[in-house]
Amino acid sequence: MVKVFVCAAVIAGVSASVNAQVATEVDRLFPVGGTDANAFEFGRASAIGDGYIAVSSPDDDSMGSYTGAVYLYDAQTRVQVGKLVASDAAQGAQFGEQLLIHDGKLFVGVPQEESVQSFGGAVYVFDLQTQNELMKIVPSDMTPDSKFGFSFGESLSASNGKLAVSAVGSNEFVGALYVFDIETGDELIKISPTDGVQNDLFSRPVAMGDGYIAAGTRADPNDAVGSSIYIYSSTTGEELRRITPEVLNTNFIGEDFEIADGILYVGDIFCGDTGVSTGCVRIFDLATGDELGRLVDPDGTSGDDLGRHISVSNGKLVAGVQSDRPNGISSGSVCIFDLQSGSIIDKVVPASSEPFLAFGHSVAMHDDTLVVGAQGVTSTAFIGSAFVFDLNFACSAADFDGSGDLNFFDVSRFIEQFLAGDLAADLNGDGMLDIFDVSDFIDTFNAGCP
């Protein structure tokens, strides 16, 4: 395994203490009014943010066969507060294939929508509070006579007032990505790979953040170069660099991308340090393109598909492992990693785990709340479900990284905040940072987790 290296200072008198916590399951969501007939595969996609949880059911047929729907929940109470469908709902569109919450809006990717062309796709934008449909976005160059469907909306990402959308079918499946203004829906940039070839499926997936856009390819099996990751400026669309990692299966480098703090996280379901494809999450420096490390499950087994869906928030990364077998075939699990140490904090399996649950098919995390889609057909949930977990692992005031463990990472973070003048390090609450806070930290740390 390629390790993530971090540096930490040491405070004299601090000793190690490990008392790991676990994620707390707080709810299991089902669609109110959903039935086996009209809410099949609920949990295909999920999103959380701005006080809401969104869970999709692309095969919902309440507006017609496979028209699709998205169910909205209050993130605090987990009470269903709405059900969203497209204003021009059409059979077979499967509304809700992708979901994204950003800046008070819900973005719904519908790559099979056909109002402009067959399998052309569209992105619908809703106001979360009013639940009104604000706009429908399609690329300016998508026309009815395009040879192949664009599949526009298969991957979504947003940052700094902009929305990045994939169109893997564009230009005979070379692929392209588009950047739009979130407020107006105006198309700002179209990006295509300079060396793209047919069946590259460029922009599957895509992530945007920190001034960058990252887009992956799934190369043609006959392409000796293999899959690549392209890094662009999110302002100009200029290509900054191309990453071609050495992978076990060069045709499928990335299943899901996330960007946070100048780092690109790449889900790779085919990687494995021992020649077995257990899946992993690769870590790249966006400024240099260097691979910094990998996140792996040391207990993973062949075919686990860790990394198919990932989410990053609050110093943690979650990775869905829907093919894991903790309670029978495809019962599924979710691995939670601490990004500072690169270690697994917890491996989550729901209390109601059973074969074919497909727990981990979708994951979405915001602050310390995790939503996990389980779209599988089981003996108890034919329509699918979504689970909600509390990830507030902090076990004491000295647990500065919130991992549930007391170790040198907490020491490092305390020192960083203390030296930066951050009052989060003011443990005695007197409004000042001084030796008394250091003393309190040492005492609290050595007392361990309860």
Q: DSSP for 395-424? A: -STT-TT-SS-BSHHHHHHHHHHHHTT-GG
SS3 of the chain: helix, strand, coil, percent, to 5: 5, 40, 55
Bridge partners of 184, per DSSP, are: none
What lies within 8 Å, CB to CB, of 404 at 6+ separation is 19, 20, 21, 22, 345, 346, 393, 394, 395, 449
- Per DSSP, the residues of 356-375 read T--EEEEEEEETTEEEEEE-
What pLDDT is attached to residue 382?
Answer: 64
- Per DSSP, the residues of 231-288 read EEETTT--EEEEE----SSTT---SEEEEETTEEEEEETT--TTSS--BEEEEEETTT
**Residue 21 near residue 73 (C-beta atoms within 8 A):** no
- AA letter at 69: A
Question: Per the structure block, which two tokens stand in for 450?
Answer: 């309860």
Burial grade of 33 (CB within 10 A; 0-12, 13-18, 19 or more): exposed
**Residue-wise pLDDT tens for the chain (450 aa)?**
344 322 222 333 433 333 344 688 999 998 887 555 555 688 999 999 999 999 999 988 888 888 999 999 999 999 999 999 999 988 888 999 999 999 999 999 999 988 888 888 999 999 999 999 999 999 998 888 776 788 899 999 999 999 999 988 888 788 889 999 999 999 999 998 887 777 777 778 899 999 999 998 875 444 545 678 899 999 999 999 988 755 434 455 667 899 999 999 998 887 766 556 788 898 999 999 888 888 988 888 877 888 889 999 988 999 999 888 888 898 999 999 999 888 888 899 999 888 988 899 999 999 889 999 998 776 665 678 999 999 876 778 888 877 677 888 889 889 988 998 888 889 888 888 999 999 999 998 898 887
**Which helix (H) or strand (E) element contains residue 173?**
helix 170-173
What pLDDT is attached to residue 76?
Answer: 93
Would you call the peptide bond into 205 cis, given omega within 30 degrees of 0 as the criterion?
yes
Q: Rounded distance, CA 162 to CA 181, Å?
A: 5
Neighbours of 65 (CB within 10 A): 11
For the beta sheet containing 256-260, the strands, ordered from the edge strand earlier in sequence to the opposite edge, are 256-260, 263-268, 280-285, 291-295
Residue corresponding to tokens 């991992």: 403
- AA letter at 437: D
Burial grade of 349 (CB within 10 A; 0-12, 13-18, 19 or more): buried
What pLDDT is attached to residue 402?
Answer: 72
Q: Rounded distance, CA 155 to CA 220, Å?
A: 20
Residue corresponding to tokens 């110093």: 315
**Nearest to 123, CA basis, from 166, 68, 63, 79:** 166
Q: Rounded distance, CA 422 to CA 301, Å?
A: 43
Query: Residue 440 in 3-state DSSP?
Result: helix
**Residue 206 near residue 191 (C-beta atoms within 8 A):** no
List, in order of start, the domains of the chain with CATH numbers. 1-21+397-450 (no CATH), 32-392 (2.130.10.130)
Q: For the whole prediction, is pTM greater than 0.85?
A: no
Residue 170: half-sphere exposure toward Cβ, Cα within 13 Å: 27
* Alpha carbon distances (Å) from 79 to 112, 131, 401, 437: 30, 15, 30, 41
Supply the Cα-derived Rg of the chain in whole angstroms.
22
**Residue 281 near residue 4 (C-beta atoms within 8 A):** no
**Nearest to 201, CA basis, from 124, 266, 149:** 149
Question: Per the structure block, which two tokens stand in for 202?
Answer: 């460029």
- Per DSSP, the residues of 4-68 read PP------TT---B-----PEEEEEE--TT--TTT-TTBTSSEEEETTEEEEEETT--BTBTT-B
